[in-house]
Structure 1
Amino acid sequence: MKNKTICLQLLLVLCSLNFFAQKLERPFILVKNAERSEILKKIDSKPWAKQIYSDLKKSTDKQVCKFYQNPKSYLKNLPFNWSKAEANQFPPFLKTDHIENGKHRNLDNATEKEWKPAALLIEYLQIALDCGYLYYITQDEKYAYVASSILYSFTKSVQKSKISNWKGRGGLLFPYDGFREVRVIGYRLPLIYDFVASYLKNEGKAFDIIKNKKVSFPKDEAQNVFKTYANITVNYGQTGSNHSVLESPSLVYNALAMDDAKERKKWLSYFLSESTQNQDALPIMAKNYKNQGDIWPETSQYLNHSTEILAKLLLVINKYNPSLKLGVKYPNILFALPRLDDLVYPNNEIIRWGDGHRRQHGSYQAYENAYVLAKMDSLKYLQDKFAPLLKNALDKGKYSRKNIEALFWYDDAIYGESNKIKLPRTDRVYHAGIVLQRNLSTTNNPKDGLMGFVGGAHMVHGHAEGMNIELYGEGQVLGVDHGRKKYGKDLHENYSRIFAAHNTVIVNGSSQGQGGWVNLGINSVELIAMEPKVRTEAISPNHSFSQTSFVDDKGDKAEATQERTLGLIRTSPTTGYYVDVFRSKSKLPNEFHDYLYHNIGDKLVFENKDLNLKRTPNRYMANANKKWIHNKRYRNPGWHFFKDVQTSKTYNKDLVATFHTKKIKGGAIFMQLHIPGFEKRVYTKVKAPITFESPKPYHKLSTPTLVIRKKGEAWKNPFVVVYEPYHKKEKASIQSVEKLEQGNIYKGLKIVSKTPNEHLIQYVITQSKDQIFKNENIYFKGSYAVITLNKMNVLQSIYIGEGEKLIFNNEEITTNSTNSFFKSYVKK
């Protein structure tokens, strides 16, 4: 019955498409003729619309003037390969190719010289498209003549090329990167045609540089070009990643450019309903948005861009045929658009995982596309979601309408209040294994905010990072993930992508990814417990925590089980700290574990004067010259990139270390680390590679990094570090950190702080789930608890993040079914 229902739905879609195809006249891909009068009214009455039009006309008229001065000379500047021209025939175009180490590569790292033919071609096609826009608006045939002439030259020349079958990803003009060709060239052609079709229908001419005269436009040849570009996506693409999304605009626009209604319906179905071996259709792509709030399962720049493309195509096709109601069918795609802006630090930078960027925020243009579609399909809850976001951005000048689609699609009727957006205390990115905590200050100063996350998982564009953290303080992401720059380079493949570039633990010097996307497969970080639960109200204004687990079993030399507890504790509106407890144990004999922490800054200073360091340049060089195969085999774990390596002898005492970051705008800031002493610990400081997208000047400086090695298991006595960020105008509030033990097994910490307001004593118990800690004053069964006293040892508060029972002196608490509890004992 279910299959019959699906078949019936698809039949209705296709019949609906066929009905509309029969009666539509061009243009209709982005906008229809019937909408022109309203657009002219907008240009007359709306300053933003008038500005879009005048800017477009001003820049385009310069090119039109150049064209009319000498059409032949203007068009001959296209990147033709005249050396291969036949008599009285258009020459083919120059190919765009990139060669590295004697091998053809995709164009990710193409040089300016290699990219020049493509850049010139894209420039000409954009001029043609801009002329098409202006012909639609003004009905002045001079614009249609220029656009048609450029499209004519392209059509004649591109047919001299054949599709390369390079790794199943070839193109016509980019023989080793058809994936890029459809993204930068393929989608423009059908739009140009759509806008000038009425001119061509009325016997409008194009200029032929070979015949040196005006000629009729070869519509049939153009139709073949559109089919060819649609075919590159359908039969030469890649499934199971964002590639299907990125190629979809070319597929959809080229399908809609086909004049034969049956052909149009057939090719459009490859987006709407029918997947192929090389291209996922919309129903497959939409599975990534199964639940409201789900996001595209890659890294930040790809997940946002993918969702924005899909949302735009839903609107384009819905405008083409409103009866499809694509907003109703796929509302979760729209709902995902602003999701990335939930994952920001107090300074508005994005948390980073994999190849993600710091500043890849959501697009207000995409929000408005979603608002228009929601309005078309009468989805009030989605209108209510996007209206405040748009109103807020417009009111604060964060967003102004500048793109041509705004002129075609938008008006000023955005209803709703410009509300302040409140971010939740905790959040998760499920596909990236991320568990996030934030605590914004009552001062409303981003510098006083606290935030961190634990994460790690395998995905396309993910990194083999283990169970990684980032930490924020004093207005900056201080405990940083390295990020990435250019793909395919030694630094990217043998450092950025693998364990040593992350704040994680490397086991037996051998932690690595294996299998999956480009052999970087790792397990996902799994949640054991957290408080508050995802996007729910916190029980305490000052506390939150997460406990996660990870299995490091790729390759055959780590074989480790790990557990990480990250606690966030605010001690005043301007002070607070993080408690990081990382447990790790391997099944293998002679095990050892290395805890890594990278912090932007000038230097790392150990405050203990008796900790002697000696240069150990070969300490991390064992795999420096191992075989490296692009996208297949790496020099794991990547720490051979560490420079100026200095290492201590075994040191068992408590340790204080400070990262100095003195060149930051706004004054020097510090991250101080309190590290309880344990046996068999060796400390190393290094200069790691630069951290990309760091604040100036640290985007060009090496990254000071701490490595702590534990010989033997690090489970009963794990890695324990208390992190406190502070500004040069302040002093570190933490006075002392002392470990709590039971039978020589670590159980928690006693932390004494002197804040601007008060003197605090805090017992922070951090143990595995269902474990018990007991001493003369405390009994606790559970994972995480914080007991806060003032300097007179008077109880101030009790927080249980996860646990069943806590007894402190005469106070006994048994938690409810949520296993969490908070009570303040301070009289107001």
Structure 2
Amino acid sequence: MKYFKNRIIKLKLVVLFFMLSVGAQINSQEVERPFILVKNSDRTEILNKIKTKTWAKEIYENLKTRTDLQVVKFNQNPKDYIKNLPFNWSEGQKNNFPPFYKTDHVENGKHRNLDNATDKEWEPAEKLITYLQIALDCGYLYYITQDEKYAYMASSILYSFVKSVQKSKLSNWHGRGGWLFPYDGFREVRVIGYRVPLIYDFIATYLKKEGNAFDIIQNKKVVFPVDELQKVCKTYADITINYGQTGSNHPVLEAPSLVYNALAMDDEKEREKLLSYFLSESTKNQDALPVMAKNYQNQGDIWPETSQYLNHSTEILGKLLLVINRYNPSLKLGAQYPNILFALPRLDDLVYPNNEIIRWGDGHRRQHGSYQAYENAYVLAKMDNLTFLQNKFAPLLIKAMESGKYSRKSIEALFWYDDDIYGNSKKIELPRTDRVYHAGIVLQRNISTTNNPKDGLMGFVGGAHMVHGHAEGMNIELYGEGQVLGVDHGRKKYGKDLHENYSRIFAAHNTVIVNGSSQGEGGWVNLGINSVKVISMEPKVREAGVSPNHSFSQTSFLDDKGDKAEATQERTLGLIRTSPTTGYYVDVFRSKSKLPNEYHDYLYHNIGDKLVFENKDLKLKKTPNRYMKNANSEWIHNKKYRNPGWHFFKKVKSSNTYNKDVKATFNIKKLKGNDVFMKLYIPGFKNRTYTKVKAPITFESPEPYDKKPTPTLVIRNKGEAWQNPFVVVFEPYNSSEKPTIQSVSKIEQDGIYKGLIIKSKTPNEELIQYVITQSKNQVFQNDAIYFKGSYAVITLHKDKTLQSVYVGEGQELTYKKKNFEIDKKQNTLFVDFTKK
């Protein structure tokens, strides 16, 4: 009996050993390449697309035409062709590959990243990138055609790269820099590191059957050293894992290099380990996907930076989800992270009627979403059976294709897309109000029934701290006559005096500076500010409004960075349409400081030729030193600034104290088409002085204002500006029209500002409007009106009969003894007396 038991045990051990051996053999088997962007099993379908689809044929033929030109040049003299790579022969050893020239940028004797590198400094990198891209194009064509002439050229370029890059020593700048960009490894992995593994993936089958590469040192064909290539790819993955910062867009921008170099590993364990640093394991220098995905917790959340970074980051993540999902479909990354995909078109919700993007921080005006990214998301949604996402992206893609805004041109389109997009194009209706929560932005828009972008009205209040954010306070932008008129300055080159000491601090924004000392402090590069908070708004975010002609927001801000402002602020921005082609904005900014001897400066920048005051008794004189106190203060790059930045103002002219109402106009007379104007109506208060200046250029303005100084108004209030706040009514119009507003007068109660009476003459009628703007739960009462709440507009016909009553936020309203029932849940009301 014991004998049989021993035999059974031995038999089990043999079976177990056999199973383990077979399993080990299976695990050690290499997955057939390519598989990073595409697989061999996809090739038949791709060839069929080239044969049957016009767009696919064009992509292929364009790729082949430009690449064949290079192949001809290479075959004529491989040695001369390869020697044009940026080799630094002076540092090479005889009969050996030299290192490449390094790409470096020095300012004031210090090594800097390559943001502001000159064209000459970039030359070696540009040449290297060009060669690597040619090699990658050859890799694509080898995969499609199986013609080894493409693989030979790609392997020859890649061989020289592998040999020479290893001749450089990895820098230790910030812990781990690059090989070729010793002081900007972050950029090296972004522009060079990700291409190398892709080239290898496409020509790996050629290399592993002892396909040759041309060696310019030996002047002959040689066997490609795959083991050295593996070391290079692993190093680029390692740079990403161990270099850079977390909590920003850096991990996203480096992620393609990490993922592609991980997938280039032939050893499966090595491949999966490196890939885990993207999929699951964060390091002190690299956030993994679960950490990055926390920025998309709710449907509609966006990457918490400025426009160009948030869009680019989401597009990269969406593409990598698709790449890895194709590599391992069981991961179902689309299903795991649907909110990343949902965020892709979000930026196009944040556009003015002329399709320019609202601007905050370092953001750009024209950084729209990528339709290719939308199609990547559609393909991934289809893979993971996410119908709601397919239904979201299909109409956007179909509409873009029908309108000619999008056509497939990339190699990924050839590899990944087909004609199978079902759905109908739909008219995209943008909401009346919206929020960008991480930027503190509260947006209002009113699209005219004329559907003419020039008749649209839109503005926003915003301000918050983030990576690439600005210390801007509670800032606004205003739109009119087809242009962003009340503008945020934007940005140009990083690290420059203008950028650090103006563009990204208070004076470049339409805000209020307190005691000449408002500033950022702490946080990212010491630009930390508090977030603008919503007190109330109507319509609520992305909801229908109670009135077609009215909306408003009331926000608050705490200006307490540094120790010389210490201010509480509140801003009410009302948008009032008076006809399909006319309307105006009401801006009420309250500000008070805890400190003695307080003063507050209201800044407003408008594109244009000049600012003209209509008050003949408002005398201005040159005051060149008015804003120069901090012009020579200490400046330390990314740490300490010359706050608040208004020393950049030129041609400064100021008034003495002036207490009367003021009218002023920004003239914009060099645009194509009609001249445009922004007229300001400013109720007078005590202790006010007025200054006009030429501020620096506003970037991305319409020509020629992208090259002209920006006319800017500064209103100073000595003492608190809370009970009697800054109040400005803005009306945009053009030269074929007249301004509709006839008069603006303030409403006061016991010497305290409560609102405005605005008389207008529109193309259709004459109006009288009582606009009550007070803090929440405050009460205004006179002989005709009782109102408890923040914001109300009572509109009368010329004969003083009621046309409409609007309450954006309030609890009680009585007009001439008529009590109006306000919705107790929403605290809103709209009654149109012209409709029975």
Which TM-score band applies after superposition, normalised by the shorter structure?
over 0.9
In 2, the alpha carbon distance for the partners of 1:63 and 1:826 equals: 73
1:311 is aligned to 2:327 = no
Q: Secondary structure at the match of 1:699?
A: coil
Partner amino acid, structure 2, of 1:549:
S
Given that 1:20 and 1:321 are in contact with CA atoms closer than 8 Å, whether structure 2 keeps it comes out as no
Given that 1:474 and 1:669 are in contact with CA atoms closer than 8 Å, whether structure 2 keeps it comes out as yes
1:491 Cα deviation from its structure 2 partner: 0.3
Give the fraction of aligned pairs with identical amino acids, expressed as a percent.
80
RMSD across aligned C-alpha pairs, in angstroms? 1.1
1:262 Cα deviation from its structure 2 partner: 0.4
In 2, the alpha carbon distance for the partners of 1:217 and 1:275 equals: 34
Partner amino acid, structure 2, of 1:89:
N
In 2, the alpha carbon distance for the partners of 1:419 and 1:434 equals: 27
Q: Secondary structure at the match of 2:706?
A: helix
In 2, the alpha carbon distance for the partners of 1:436 and 1:329 equals: 31
Which of the numbers 523, 526, 550 marks the counterpart of 1:519? 526
Given that 1:519 and 1:631 are in contact with CA atoms closer than 8 Å, whether structure 2 keeps it comes out as yes
Corresponding residue of 2:368: 361
Corresponding residue of 2:611: 604
TM-score where L is the length of structure 2: 0.96
List per-residue Cα deviations over 1:165-211 (Å, max 9, x = no partner). 11235111000000000000000000000000011122110000011
In 2, the alpha carbon distance for the partners of 1:510 and 1:628 equals: 15
In 2, the alpha carbon distance for the partners of 1:483 and 1:295 equals: 20
Partner amino acid, structure 2, of 1:817:
K
In 2, the alpha carbon distance for the partners of 1:341 and 1:107 equals: 30
Partner amino acid, structure 1, of 2:455:
D
In 1, the alpha carbon distance for the partners of 2:735 and 2:165 equals: 62
Which of the numbers 69, 91, 101 marks the counterpart of 1:62? 69
In 2, the alpha carbon distance for the partners of 1:282 and 1:21 equals: 27
Corresponding residue of 1:140: 147
Q: Secondary structure at the match of 2:826?
A: coil
Which of the numbers 814, 820, 829 marks the counterpart of 1:821? 829
1:162 Cα deviation from its structure 2 partner: 1.9
Superposed structure 1 runs of 4+ greater than 2 Å apart:
18-24
Corresponding residue of 2:351: 344
Given that 2:176 and 2:242 are in contact with CA atoms closer than 8 Å, whether structure 1 keeps it comes out as no
After superposition, residues 299-698 of structure 1 pair within 5 angstroms as 299-698=306-705
Q: Secondary structure at the match of 1:807?
A: strand
Corresponding residue of 2:227: 220
Q: Secondary structure at the match of 1:819?
A: coil
Corresponding residue of 1:160: 167
Which of the numbers 60, 75, 82 marks the counterpart of 1:75? 82
1:316 Cα deviation from its structure 2 partner: 0.2
Q: Secondary structure at the match of 1:523?
A: coil
After superposition, residues 723-742 of structure 1 pair within 5 angstroms as 723-742=730-749
1:661 Cα deviation from its structure 2 partner: 0.1
Given that 1:169 and 1:177 are in contact with CA atoms closer than 8 Å, whether structure 2 keeps it comes out as no
1:814 Cα deviation from its structure 2 partner: 3.5
TM-score where L is the length of structure 1: 0.97
Q: Secondary structure at the match of 1:700?
A: coil
In 1, the alpha carbon distance for the partners of 2:370 and 2:176 equals: 29
Which of the numbers 750, 757, 761 marks the counterpart of 2:757? 750
1:22 Cα deviation from its structure 2 partner: 4.9
Partner amino acid, structure 2, of 1:460:
V
1:777 is aligned to 2:804 = no
In 2, the alpha carbon distance for the partners of 1:606 and 1:522 equals: 34
1:722 is aligned to 2:726 = no
In 2, the alpha carbon distance for the partners of 1:769 and 1:165 equals: 56
Partner amino acid, structure 2, of 1:389:
L
Corresponding residue of 1:179: 186
Corresponding residue of 2:799: 792
Partner amino acid, structure 1, of 2:829:
F
1:20 Cα deviation from its structure 2 partner: 8.9
CA distance 1:173–1:82, shift in 2 (3 Å): same
List per-residue Cα deviations over 1:459-499 (Å, max 9, x = no partner). 00000000000000000000000000000000000000100
Corresponding residue of 1:257: 264
**5+ unaligned residues in a row in structure 1: which ranges?**
1-15
List per-residue Cα deviations over 1:377-416 (Å, max 9, x = no partner). 0000000000000000000000011110000000111111
**5+ unaligned residues in a row in structure 2: which ranges?**
1-22
Corresponding residue of 1:9: none
Q: Secondary structure at the match of 1:327?
A: helix
CA distance 1:800–1:169, shift in 2 (3 Å): farther
In 2, the alpha carbon distance for the partners of 1:122 and 1:721 equals: 53
Corresponding residue of 2:13: none
In 1, the alpha carbon distance for the partners of 2:43 and 2:696 equals: 55
After superposition, residues 200-211 of structure 1 pair within 5 angstroms as 200-211=207-218
In 2, the alpha carbon distance for the partners of 1:715 and 1:661 equals: 32
Q: Secondary structure at the match of 1:698?
A: coil
In 1, the alpha carbon distance for the partners of 2:658 and 2:394 equals: 58
1:93 is aligned to 2:117 = no
Given that 1:289 and 1:295 are in contact with CA atoms closer than 8 Å, whether structure 2 keeps it comes out as yes
List per-residue Cα deviations over 1:751-786 (Å, max 9, x = no partner). 000000010000000000000000000000000000
Asked which structure has the greater CA Rg, the reply is 2
Given that 2:30 and 2:266 are in contact with CA atoms closer than 8 Å, whether structure 1 keeps it comes out as no
In 2, the alpha carbon distance for the partners of 1:671 and 1:529 equals: 27
1:21 Cα deviation from its structure 2 partner: 8.7
1:25 Cα deviation from its structure 2 partner: 0.4
Partner amino acid, structure 2, of 1:697:
P
List per-residue Cα deviations over 1:648-685 (Å, max 9, x = no partner). 01000011000000001122000000000000000000
Partner amino acid, structure 2, of 1:709:
R
CA distance 1:307–1:318, shift in 2 (3 Å): same
Which of the numbers 712, 715, 727 marks the counterpart of 2:719? 712
Given that 1:299 and 1:354 are in contact with CA atoms closer than 8 Å, whether structure 2 keeps it comes out as yes
List per-residue Cα deviations over 1:499-530 (Å, max 9, x = no partner). 00000000000000000000000000000000
Corresponding residue of 2:134: 127
List per-residue Cα deviations over 1:97-128 (Å, max 9, x = no partner). 00001100000000011110000000000000
